[in-house]
Amino acid sequence: MADIYTMGIDIGSSASKCLILKNGTEIAGSAVIAAGTGTSGPRRAQEEALAAAGISMKDIRRSTATGYGRNTVEGVDAVVSELSCHAIGIHAVFPDVRTLIDIGGQDAKVIRVSENGRLDSFVMNDKCAAGTGRFLDVMARVLELDVSELEEKSAKAKNVVNISSTCTVFAESEVISQLSNNVDICDLVAGIHRSVAVRTAGLVRRLGVVEPVAMSGGVALNGGVVSALEEELGLTIKVSPLAQLNGAYGAAVHAWGQLEKETL
Amino acid sequence: MSEATEKKPAKVVLKELQDKIADDAWEAKKRGEKVGWCASNFPQEITTAMGIPVVYPENMGAAVGAKGGGQRMCEYAEGMGYSGDLCSYSRINFAYADLKKCEELEIPFPDFLLCCNNICNCMIKWYENLALELDIPLILIDIPHLDQYECDEDRIKYIRAQFDDAIRQLEEITGKKMDYDKLKSVMEVSQRSSQAWLRAVGYMSAKPSPFSGFDIFNNMAVACVGRGTVEAAEAFEQLADEYEALVAEGKSTFKGDENYRILFEGIACWANLRFTYKTLQSRGINLTASVYGPAFSFLYSNLDELMAAYSYVPNSNCFERELELRVVDAKKNKVDGAIFHMNRSCKHWSGNLYEMERQFREQTGVPTIVFDGDQSDPRAFSEAQYETRVEALVEIMEENKRKEAQA
Amino acid sequence: MKYIDELKNISENPRAAFEGAIASGKKVVGVMPYFCPEELVYAAGMLPFGLWGAAIQANDSKRYFPAFICSILHTTLEMGIKGQLDDLSAIMIPICCDSLKGMGANWEYGVGNKVPVINVAYAQNRKIEAGVGFTASQFRKIRKQLEEIAGNEITDDALAKAVTVYNENRDAILCFSKAAATHPKEISAQTRSAVLKAGYFMDRAKHTEMLREITEELSALPASDEGYLKIVTTGILADMLGFLELIDKNNMVIADDQIAQESVGARTQTPVTEDPILGMAQRLSDIEGCSVLYDLGKFRGKQLVSLAQEAGAAGILFVLTKFCDPEEYDYVPVKRMTDAAGIPMLQVEIDQQMKNFAQAESALQAFAEMLRER
């Protein structure tokens, strides 16, 4: 029997992700492009994922789009919210996980996953950017670091600096004044991570902590934030190996599910 | 004067008095008496006269903020679902009500709640939630915001009815009876305290002012909640005497030279108290005017006037009366500038602050600045912003002094 | 459907209604939320005109209000400062929340005395006799102020008539809302909102007539709610088009509401009393389900649960007006009550100046997906 491919496309504010699933279980190809909705990112992500899988668009039997830019993707079979896709995605990776924390560029969300892998309830960050990937981007820029360097720096921290401001503008001036006081940059980075962790922990508590807890999204790649969050919540967090691709994975699984429903 | 020199300083006596209010409440709780949580501007005459122990969540919010627990407690409340936009005193209190512990300061848990919204309507929402969460009775005295200069008969009648109703409900809850002779004497003692408080803060008009103006933030707590006792009246009289003696000697408890005198508008940033104070003190800036001075006097000579007095607390007045309180105080106390605290926690105090600042500047002719902060949540305060603005204020005040000297 | 387009026009372009009234020689009095004694304005022969903010950018208002005050006040003040409300004969401003307490002075200094302020104080301790008495005393004061502005007396007869007009309108609102709940194909969330909102900009008697007609037409039609997800909304206002679009797009139907701008006031009639003022004051004591009115025991939450249960709603939307502190306080206990009743509730934070509804869109779609899975 020929292989069946489904595609999940997750178009975020700052990145486009695409994942192709073979026969509902095997990841045939994926791509993450650092350009979000309204750019060439969505198209490029699809092309790259298809190339990685060694197939072409006509081989895709079903596709599901998700993410902020989900309504702008042409030619997809279904459009599903990223919250549902994240729940489906994490359930496929870690079936026992009940709480998923996903921090992306623009927003942070905490999702309760039911035992059968469905979206049970959720909360999202409020109007301010504190506690999102954007906050980390701004802070990294102030410190003249690349976001990818943050984890390594914070691992070397000795005395974590307290960053109290939640307002991004205020936090920026707070970090600058600490820098001019010659505070160790590693201590500062750890402080920034803790600030994000505290903010996120508040969201988690708002929903109620049900273990096991997992994390996905671009910020999950930063182990500094993950361990700060573990400390803040006093529990262990499973990090999805798919990180940013969790939503796209969930979308591809969703597309597979649609196909199965149809053929039943 | 040997007797006076042996006495503890009034500042210490007042602090002890404040602690005693809390200790008494703990003791009463242990004895099995009913204890209340009380809004800071609820008529204290009722509880003092009836001998009902109460504690003040707002004071706890300030103290927890000052001791560095504000951020932690606020974040906890946000985890409960409360928005970070809400009053930080209330967030700290919700966290405490839920956690039932707080390492910085604890107050005994209440058997009833006494709410009064003369300072703000958020008190009502706050206490509504407490009443539900703790499942205890709530007594509200609603003092409608003044939309005119004077408190009128309709308001007095309404407040009076609630005053009487509150007494009746408290009698039921606590089993204690109101002794109206005692009420009369509490009212008299309160007047004695108020007069002494006014005399004490009145010395801020001296040059130099006999004390560091930030002390007002500490002393007003007792002026507000404990003034119905003879001990408080005596302590305030002592405080006034001490200031009088300092003025006579030309001395001050303010550290350093008093180069500039300012009005500080708003609640202190408790979580950043040291920084906000040091930034001023190191530049020789003393606080010599604050609405807490004249406005926490509660002058009256009978029950009806008492009702009216409670609608003249800061923020309960119409804009014109609020402005006048500040302008008169600033002129009398010869300020060189003013600092306005845009308090993220307090929508009521912040809603007219820009206009207040403009009209204050026009009427007094002194330079002003506004800074962003919060009464107990350090996350809404920026040291850099505060310092930069204070420096700008100093530059203008300096220039004004130079011009004055030339003329 | 008859009248729908007309009401939509009025609601989308209140300015035309405003200018039309002025052109016809009618005096217009601005009425801010919440629960002002509008009947007095009506009885004086003037047009009460609702001021619930607008979907405009607030710029000049920021000279007066800090950024963390709700957009209802910001944008209303903005219109005032820009001179767009100069033809008002007065503006009624209640003082039932802390932000509103600052509105009077900001209006006075930002707009000037060309549009005088009528402060509306009413009792928060509203269940006791003295509270009703105080509210009545304030309404009497306002009556005199309005008589002066109108240039004529407000007779008890005229007031009694106004009370009847308003009571009938309240009933018509509830009947329409009920009919709309089963006819989402004919009455989308956007249309429902427009039909209700238009009442703030027109003669209430005329509004009633139109509502009755629409309701009658709807009742003659078979229900069209199959496949729709029933929800109940709660909050201050929910009239932002971007938000309403999301409800429609997700095939949701508003089965009932606890929105201050919509049904909250309509649920409570003014009792007919010999002195109409007393009845009006009594109504303030009777209204339930709004965060700006003292609510010992949070009856709001209980009411919300029973509204949702009676409507057979799958979920509740807590439409949080950004920076509204009474709502932010209520949210926590209300959520606890709806959770206890097993009814899912989603908080969506929105305001009138919002251009980007992306987060709300994700949240609403996810909520719909979640409810449909249940």
Inter-chain residue contact B81 with C335, CB threshold 8 Å: yes
pLDDT at position B275 is 96
Q: What is the mean pLDDT of residues C97-104?
A: 96
User: Which of A124, A164, A169, A199 should we substitute to test contact with B (largest number of B Cβ atoms within 10 Å)?
Assistant: A164
Asked if pLDDT for residue A32 goes beyond 80, the answer is yes
Q: What is the mean pLDDT of residues B311-315?
A: 88
Inter-chain residue contact B385 with A173, CB threshold 8 Å: yes
Write the CATH number for C51: 3.40.50.11890
Q: Give the pLDDT band of residue C359 (cuts 50, 70, 90).
A: confident
Residue at C101 is within a domain: yes
Residue at C93 is within a domain: yes
pLDDT at position A261 is 86
Question: Domains in chain B, please, with CATH?
Answer: 11-179 (3.40.50.11890)
What CATH number was assigned to the domain covering residues A1-94+245-264? 3.30.420.40
pLDDT at position A127 is 64
Q: What is the mean pLDDT of residues C58-64?
A: 93
Q: What is the mean pLDDT of residues C237-248?
A: 95
Q: Nearest C-alpha of chain C: how many angstroms from A68?
A: 6
pLDDT at position A128 is 67
Touching check for A119 and chain C: CB below 8 Å?
yes
Asked if pLDDT for residue A235 goes beyond 70, the answer is yes
The pLDDT tens digits of the residues spanning B91-129 come to 999 999 999 999 999 999 999 999 999 999 999 999 999
Asked if pLDDT for residue C49 goes beyond 50, the answer is yes
Touching check for A173 and chain B: CB below 8 Å?
yes
Asked if pLDDT for residue B296 goes beyond 80, the answer is no
The per-residue pLDDT of chain B, averaged, comes to 94
Asked if pLDDT for residue C329 goes beyond 90, the answer is yes
Inter-chain residue contact B384 with A166, CB threshold 8 Å: no
CA angle B305, B329, B19 (to 5 degrees): 70
Q: Give the pLDDT band of residue C267 (cuts 50, 70, 90).
A: very high
Touching check for A102 and chain C: CB below 8 Å?
no
Inter-chain residue contact A164 with B78, CB threshold 8 Å: no
CATH T-level topology, domain A95-239: Nucleotidyltransferase; domain 5 (3.30.420)
Inter-chain residue contact B382 with A173, CB threshold 8 Å: yes
For chain B, give the percent of residues with pLDDT over 70: 99
The pLDDT tens digits of the residues spanning B314-326 come to 888 999 999 999 9
Q: What is the mean pLDDT of residues A229-253?
A: 95
Q: What share of chain A is helix, strand, coil (3-state, %, to 5)?
A: 45, 20, 35
Chain C residues with CB under 8 Å of B155 CB are 134
Q: Which of B243, B276, B282, B280 is nearest to B262 (CA)?
A: B280
The pLDDT tens digits of the residues spanning A131-190 come to 788 888 888 988 889 888 999 999 999 989 888 777 777 788 888 888 888 889 999 999
Q: Give the pLDDT band of residue B2 (cuts 50, 70, 90).
A: very low
Asked if pLDDT for residue C120 goes beyond 50, the answer is yes
From chain B residues 350-389, the ones with a CB under 8 A of any chain A CB are 378-385
Structure tokens at A72: 């702008």
Domain count, chain C: 1
Helices and strands, number each (H, E), in chain C:
14, 8
Chain C residues with CB under 8 Å of A122 CB are 363, 366, 370
Inter-chain residue contact A166 with B380, CB threshold 8 Å: yes
Give the type of residue at C34: Y
For chain C, give the percent of residues with pLDDT over 90: 95
φ, ψ for residue B45 (rounded to 5)?
-55, -40
Asked if pLDDT for residue A1 goes beyond 80, the answer is no
pLDDT at position C374 is 82
pLDDT at position B225 is 80
pLDDT at position B1 is 44
Asked if pLDDT for residue A5 goes beyond 90, the answer is yes
Residue of B nearest to A169 (CA): B382
Q: Nearest C-alpha of chain C: how many angstroms from A106?
A: 9
Inter-chain residue contact B382 with A165, CB threshold 8 Å: yes
Chain A residues with CB under 8 Å of C373 CB are 118-119
Euclidean distance between CA atoms B131 and B57, whole angstroms: 14
Touching check for B122 and chain C: CB below 8 Å?
yes
Euclidean distance between CA atoms A219 and B227, whole angstroms: 55
Q: Which of A228-237, B289-298, C82-91, C242-251 has the lowest mean pLDDT?
A: B289-298
Asked if pLDDT for residue B5 goes beyond 60, the answer is no
Inter-chain residue contact B81 with C332, CB threshold 8 Å: yes
Examine domains A1-94+245-264 and A95-239 and report if their fold is the same: yes
Q: What is the mean pLDDT of residues B18-47?
A: 94
How far does Cα B1 stand from its chain's mean position?
Answer: 32
Q: What is the mean pLDDT of residues B204-215?
A: 95
Q: What is the pTM of this model?
A: 0.94
A228, A193 in Cβ contact below 8 A?
Answer: yes
- Smallest Cβ–Cβ distance between C106 and the set B86, B346, B352 belongs to B352
Euclidean distance between CA atoms B31 and B285, whole angstroms: 48
The per-residue pLDDT of chain A, averaged, comes to 91
Chain C residues with CB under 8 Å of B354 CB are 63-66
Inter-chain residue contact C97 with B145, CB threshold 8 Å: no
From chain B residues 278-317, the ones with a CB under 8 A of any chain A CB are none
How far does Cα A18 stand from its chain's mean position?
Answer: 13
pLDDT at position A264 is 64
For chain A, give the percent of residues with pLDDT over 70: 98
Touching check for C344 and chain A: CB below 8 Å?
yes
Inter-chain residue contact A81 with C369, CB threshold 8 Å: yes
DSSP B226-269: STTSHHHHHHHHHHHHHHHHHHHHT--SSSS---EEEEEESS--
Q: Give the pLDDT band of residue C144 (cuts 50, 70, 90).
A: very high
Q: What is the mean pLDDT of residues B312-337?
A: 94
pLDDT at position A129 is 66
pLDDT at position C216 is 97
Asked if pLDDT for residue B353 goes beyond 80, the answer is yes
Report the neighbours of A using a cutoff of 3 or more CB pairs below 8 angstroms.
Answer: B, C
Q: For chain A, what are the domain ranges?
A: 1-94+245-264, 95-239
For chain B, give the percent of residues with pLDDT over 90: 89
What is the complex's ipTM, to 2 decimals?
0.97
Domain that holds residue C83: 11-157
